A and B are shown apart, each in its own frame.
Chain A
């Protein structure tokens, strides 16, 4: 079955620092890939997605590129803000979503 592995947190950064959260997947075929974000006290929200190899998903300054050769979908942002503090989940979609364990990001002013 599908599986998703993402880096453990917490990740603590200063405001305006560069962010990378690694995510790799295993799957049969080429599943759609997603990043979800969970802000404190809220539900999961779709941040971005990519449906095929070499697609780049982007939203709110975050980007991730679907890399078939490395089975990766790393999340990046050039300059994080305090408001980006949240838990980020990488996921792949087969019949249902398969999630990584989540990475907590803490951005300090």
Chain B
């Protein structure tokens, strides 16, 4: 089946540094990718929707300057957490919509810990 590769799976960084998370669709093209964030024992919250070649659409309350999203190709979207702080520690997960079928596939997630 279709695979979405998300990397890294776990990252620990110091406060004030930036972290980039990659999301790749390995055997399909994804015109749309979604980025979610999950707090412990909470739902996955949609952060933003990225469309290939255009600016991402951010959900209310999500700082676009803090969570930079780039969707430069049909198989790659990146989320950069800039100037990370401990409150940014969370589980981030991406989802890609297959251009051909519209089906959604998920990455395995990234656990970010900011010290």
B residues apposed to A, CB below 8 Å:
4, 6, 34, 36, 41-44, 46, 49, 93, 95, 103-109
Interface residue ranges of A20-52 to B (CB < 8 Å): 36, 41-46
The answer to whether A95 touches B49, judged by C-beta atoms less than 8 angstroms apart, is yes
**Chain B residues in 8 Å Cβ range of A97:** 34, 44, 46, 95, 104
Cross-chain contact of A43 among B34, B41, B106 (Cβ < 8 A): B106
**Chain B residues in 8 Å Cβ range of A99:** 36, 43-44
The answer to whether A4 touches B43, judged by C-beta atoms less than 8 angstroms apart, is yes
Interface residue ranges of A67-107 to B (CB < 8 Å): 89, 95-102
The answer to whether B41 touches A8, judged by C-beta atoms less than 8 angstroms apart, is yes
**Chain B residues in 8 Å Cβ range of A89:** 44
Min Cβ gap B36→A in Å is: 8
Min Cβ gap B8→A in Å is: 13
**Known contacts A96-B34, A96-B49, A102 near B106 by CB under 8 Å:** no
Q: Cα distance A46–B97 when bound, in Å?
A: 13
Min Cβ gap A105→B in Å is: 15
Min Cβ gap A95→B in Å is: 7
**Known contacts A42-B108, A43-B6, A43-B106, A101 near B43 by CB under 8 Å:** yes
The answer to whether B46 touches A98, judged by C-beta atoms less than 8 angstroms apart, is yes
Q: Cα distance A97–B4 when bound, in Å?
A: 17
**Chain A residues in 8 Å Cβ range of B107:** 43
Q: Cα distance A4–B43 when bound, in Å?
A: 9
The answer to whether A44 touches B46, judged by C-beta atoms less than 8 angstroms apart, is no
Closest to B59 in A: A96
Closest to A5 in B: B43
Q: Cα distance A99–B41 when bound, in Å?
A: 12
